[in-house]
Amino acid sequence: MDDSETSGVSRRKFMIYSLSAATLTVAAPLGCDTSTAEGSEPARGTSEVLVTGTDEEMLVLEVTPANRVVVRLPRVELGQGITTAVAVMIAEELDARLADVDIPLADARTKGNQSTGGSNSVSSLYGPARQLAATARARLVTAAARRWHLPARSLHTRNTMVVAPDGRTATFGSLSASAARVRRTSVPAKPKPASKHRLIGRPTNRIDARDLVTGKAKYTGDLTVAGAKPTVVARPPTLGGKLVSVDDRAAGALPGVHAVVRVPGGVAVVAETFHHAFNARDALKIKWAPGPMASLSDAGIRSRLRAAVPKPGTPPRGSTQVEGEFEFAFVSHAPMEVLTAIADVRAHQAEIWFSSQTPMDARDTIASAIGLSASKVTVHVLRGGGSFGRRLHYDAAIEAALISKAAKRPVKLMWSRNDDTRHGRMRPASHHRIRASHKDGRVVAFSHMMASVNESEGTTAHQASFVRPVSAPLPSDSGLYNFGRISGDSGGVDLPIPLGAWRSVDSGTMRAAEEVVVDEVARSLGKDAVAFRRTTLRNKAVRAVLDKVAEAGEWGRSLPDGHGQGVAVHEEYGSCVACLAEIDATDPKNPRVTKVVMAADVGTAVNPRGLEAQLMGATVDGISTILSAGLHIDRGAVREGSFADFHWARQRHAPLHFEVHIMPSTGEPGGAGELGVPAASGAVANAYARATGTKPRRFPLNF
Amino acid sequence: MPSYSFVLNGEKVTVEAPADMPLLWVLRDLLHVTGPKYGCGVGVCRACTSHLDGEEIQPCTVKVKDCADREVTTIEGLADGDTLHPVQEAWLDCDVAQCGFCQPGQIMAAAALLKKTPQPSDADIDRIENVCRCGTYTRIREAINKAAAKITP
């Protein structure tokens, strides 16, 4: 993080509107800064406002008479804890009890930013959410002052109440109606200074934790929508395989089968239960034509990628080269909750329920697929059972809508685990050629040329915006290290494979490979991997997190043969992180990461416990993708079919010891959801290299 | 259609279902008990993990006919009314869940482990096969140890 960024928060101002309602309801536009004075109430459509001010694009806070504080969130909860983080921001500024704050997910809107991605939810909501709640608080205090005929400044707020000096209290709910009529507040509507924070920065448990541990939390497949019957789709054995013919007589005659309809992806069966649906699917007699990749397997894809890597320039005269070529396999997103969508498509309107990172795009695309105008399509956003980028796409929701339309009935479509693993989406395979040139003990040039499979199959421009476009600046161009002349370029191979941005996108591969090379450069120069990084890192915040893990993780401590330590750092999303991993690779085919220490500087950490969870998850992503989890392509088909052969880490592969150090900061929050993946991946690869004396090149290593 | 009766979370239920229908779909689609999740259908991911006569099972691979006259407990039946099971309490204390989808299965697996092995070793905990795609394993281990300490102080 740049030092100059740290004072950014206080300069930002957010315009707040009051909405006409019987209860106190205030709204903050999302994603726009204005120079309007805090607490003022400009007319809608002020020229300085970047958005035009319909309620649709706002973050809206309502205080109900029952003393609930409700903020309908235009983001999706996927396990990253965004609803808890927003509840913390709201409760902080409102002086509400966290338990009195509800953060339901908003239906798809018509305007504004409703995308969840790019690790930007906390940073984009931090200003508007706090200003929103501070404004509501000022009005509630003003309303109480009028009721009690006391100076507003003599009142304070706590536990979702206004409290008078004599001890009288009024709940926010009891003040809501009169606060809604307050035009001019008697106290400033100004968010607290960081020094007054009692919730922000304090470890907070998830607000939905009890629902999650009792089975009450509802995911799409758990909903009961009238008449929506279980639906599955018979899909081709190969990627993009086409239906030649189907004989559905036997399947259609089975008990409990309601409909059999063709869809672009295969043949859908609607039945009384998923048991009946799977049985009927398996009774379909289908002839498939092989997909367009049927002649292509891993070896062919790898050689095409290798050939597509741009040629690096000539290294500086007289320099010594440290070079490596790295390969990464395709990786499934594999969220625990397979893609599921409920669709009820009628002649003149449609209603869809599913977990979506891009519900506005989804609504528009679904509307056009079923021939309705977007205004006739309602999309309800549900919590997701994981995503890792998968729910940027809405393939299953489109499919559910098409099936509902064809079958003329509501459906609850579920992709099987085989569907999910074999028909994508996946992180693209990639090939990297990295070269560090050193001279007189210093790196004087660093080149990273790469190629990956282009994401084109069924991807909209908006979804693609979460993926670094081909030939865009590479992460190494940000100049993490003082490596002299930095160069990078990327090539692409077009293949009809359903791909999707995967947590940390290209950084998870590119930066991991770069961190391996950094270790090899240090070795080549006879320097320690941490000491070398310390002297070459440009940003002192990155140096600080590296120092933290080196100290806390006892870098350089002696370990038995076959064990090793590895470090790596990463900087992105306005944040930085370091990871120190220890591995037991006594059996190199069955290594175990035994200990992981991370340190992160994300600016203000709204909820340190949530941040720790994100880094914990990113660590398991690194362990899995570096050591064991990938997809093979055999003649146009994905070989793996479930967690039986897609070797995601289990408990026995997770570190026995995991600790996170969060650097103190009052700076603006950066992103953290994806941050840990590249550092964890690099650290695990470097630990494996040190433990085994090998140079890791092809990932996952045991594949 | 044959009919089967069993005790589900303390209450007797009767369902009409094909004999080979997996318990998972009986629970979810016929009885609307949705705590046990589908994640693979082949007993690998273990998101549906529940108990049959107190022992861990994966309902996606257990046929309804094999549950007749037995006791099925899902995550919904683990707590004693509003009093959570010590494993659930430990899960809250350690803030284990992220997306939460695998957590009913993780909790039921942990509860079954602690019933058989009240003081599990790291190796015992390592034998839990339930997949957590969010990677909450460290907190799962911490929560199991915490629950073990509470159950057998």
**pLDDT of the residue at A604:** 97
List helix spans (H) across A8-120: 8-11, 82-94
* Domains of chain B by residue range: 3-77, 86-151
| Contact by Cβ (8 Å): A17, A52 | no
Question: Are B99 and A209 a contacting pair at CB < 8 A?
Answer: no
For residue A642, list chain B residues with Cβ-Cβ distance below 8 A: 40, 42, 44-45
- The chain B residue lying nearest A216, using CA atoms, is B35
CATH of domain B86-151: 1.10.150.120
**pLDDT of the residue at A350:** 98
For residue B136, list chain A residues with Cβ-Cβ distance below 8 A: 613, 616-617
**pLDDT of the residue at A584:** 98
The SS3 assignment for A90 reads: helix
How does pLDDT run across A27-69, given as a tens digit for each residue? 877 653 333 333 333 333 222 222 233 456 678 899 999 999 9
CA nearest A131: which of A37, A64, A20, A198? A37
Query: What residues 20-79 of chain B have any CB closer than 8 A to a CB of chain A?
Result: 21-22, 25-26, 28-30, 32, 34-42, 44-45, 47, 74-76, 78-79
CA separation, residue B3 to residues A502, B26, B36, B72, B143 (Å): 46, 12, 22, 16, 40
A72-76, A278-282, A412-416: segment of lowest average pLDDT: A72-76
| Contact by Cβ (8 Å): A610, B98 | no
Query: Residue A678 burial (CB < 10 Å; 0-12/13-18/19+)?
Result: buried
Query: Residue A272 burial (CB < 10 Å; 0-12/13-18/19+)?
Result: middle
Average pLDDT over residues A156-160: 98
A42-46, A262-266, A516-520: segment of lowest average pLDDT: A42-46
Question: Are B100 and A208 a contacting pair at CB < 8 A?
Answer: yes
Is residue A78 less than 8 Å (CB to CB) from chain B?
yes
A21-25, A87-91, A436-440, B95-99: segment of lowest average pLDDT: A21-25
Average pLDDT over residues A113-135: 91
**pLDDT of the residue at A290:** 95
Query: What residues 433-462 of chain A have any CB closer than 8 A to a CB of chain B?
Result: none
Please name the member of B25, B96, B132 whose beta carbon is closest to the beta carbon of A273. Answer: B25
- The chain A residue lying nearest B95, using CA atoms, is A205
Question: Are A386 and B133 a contacting pair at CB < 8 A?
Answer: yes
**pLDDT of the residue at A383:** 98
The SS3 assignment for A83 reads: helix
Question: Are B98 and A621 a contacting pair at CB < 8 A?
Answer: no
- Proportion of chain A above pLDDT 70, given as a percent: 90
**pLDDT of the residue at A56:** 61
Average pLDDT over residues A117-136: 92
How does pLDDT run across B51-76, given as a tens digit for each residue? 999 999 999 999 999 999 999 999 99
**Site of tokens 């109606």:** A177
Cα distance from A626 to chain B (closest Cα, Å)?
Answer: 15
For residue A618, list chain B residues with Cβ-Cβ distance below 8 A: 135
- The chain B residue lying nearest A230, using CA atoms, is B29
Cα distance from B153 to chain A (closest Cα, Å)?
Answer: 22
**pLDDT of the residue at A59:** 86
Question: Are B98 and A80 a contacting pair at CB < 8 A?
Answer: yes
**pLDDT of the residue at A135:** 92
- Proportion of chain A above pLDDT 90, given as a percent: 85
Residue A289 has pLDDT above 60, yes or no: yes
Q: How many CA atoms lie within 13 A of A326 on its CB side?
A: 28
For residue A384, list chain B residues with Cβ-Cβ distance below 8 A: 99
What interface predicted TM-score (ipTM) does this complex get?
0.98
**Which of left, alpha, beta for A554 (phi over 0: left; psi -120 to 50: alpha)?**
left
Question: Are A337 and B126 a contacting pair at CB < 8 A?
Answer: no
Question: Are A616 and B126 a contacting pair at CB < 8 A?
Answer: no
**Site of tokens 């300490």:** B149
List helix spans (H) across A572-641: 608-627
CA nearest A604: which of A204, A206, A202, A103? A202
Distance in angstroms between the alpha carbons of the first and the last residue of chain B: 50
Q: Provide the mean pLDDT of chain A.
A: 91
**pLDDT of the residue at A5:** 30
Question: Are B38 and A642 a contacting pair at CB < 8 A?
Answer: no
Confidence of residue A469 (pLDDT cuts 50, 70, 90): very low
Q: Is the domain B3-77 a CATH 3.10.20.30 member?
A: yes
Confidence of residue A577 (pLDDT cuts 50, 70, 90): very high
- Could you give the CA distance from residue A99 to residue A106 in angstroms, rounded to a whole number? 20
E strands, A454-590, are: 485-493, 563-572, 575-584
**pLDDT of the residue at A58:** 77
**Site of tokens 């040629």:** A311
Query: What residues 312-351 of chain A have any CB closer than 8 A to a CB of chain B?
Result: 334-338
Please name the member of A214, A386, A417 whose beta carbon is closest to the beta carbon of B40. Answer: A417
Question: Are B133 and A215 a contacting pair at CB < 8 A?
Answer: no
**pLDDT of the residue at A42:** 35
The full set of domains in chain A, from first to last, is 7-210 (3.30.365.10), 220-291+339-414 (3.30.365.10), 301-319+324-330+425-699 (3.30.365.10)
A442-453, strands of its sheet edge to edge:
A485-493, A442-453, A430-439, A320-328, A698-699
For residue B126, list chain A residues with Cβ-Cβ distance below 8 A: 651-652
- Could you give the CA distance from residue A666 to residue A208 in angstroms, rounded to a whole number? 27
Query: Residue A326 burial (CB < 10 Å; 0-12/13-18/19+)?
Result: buried
For residue B132, list chain A residues with Cβ-Cβ distance below 8 A: 336, 620
Neighbours of A231 (CB within 10 A): 30
Strands A266-271 and A229-234: antiparallel
- Name, in order, each residue with C-beta under 8 angstroms of A599's C-beta and a sequence gap of 6 or more: A544, A545, A546, A548, A549, A552, A577, A578, A660, A661, A662, A663
How does pLDDT run across A479-497, given as a tens digit for each residue? 799 999 999 999 999 999 9
**pLDDT of the residue at A656:** 97
Best of A116, A214, A579 to disrupt the B interface by mutation (most B CBs within 10 Å)?
A214
Query: What residues 384-443 of chain A have any CB closer than 8 A to a CB of chain B?
Result: 384-388, 414, 416-417
For residue B98, list chain A residues with Cβ-Cβ distance below 8 A: 79-81, 386, 613, 617
Cα distance from B82 to chain A (closest Cα, Å)?
Answer: 10
**Site of tokens 């046990």:** B36
Confidence of residue A23 (pLDDT cuts 50, 70, 90): confident
- Name, in order, each residue with C-beta under 8 angstroms of A323's C-beta and a sequence gap of 6 or more: A433, A434, A435, A436
Q: Provide the mean pLDDT of chain B.
A: 97
Residue B92 has pLDDT above 50, yes or no: yes
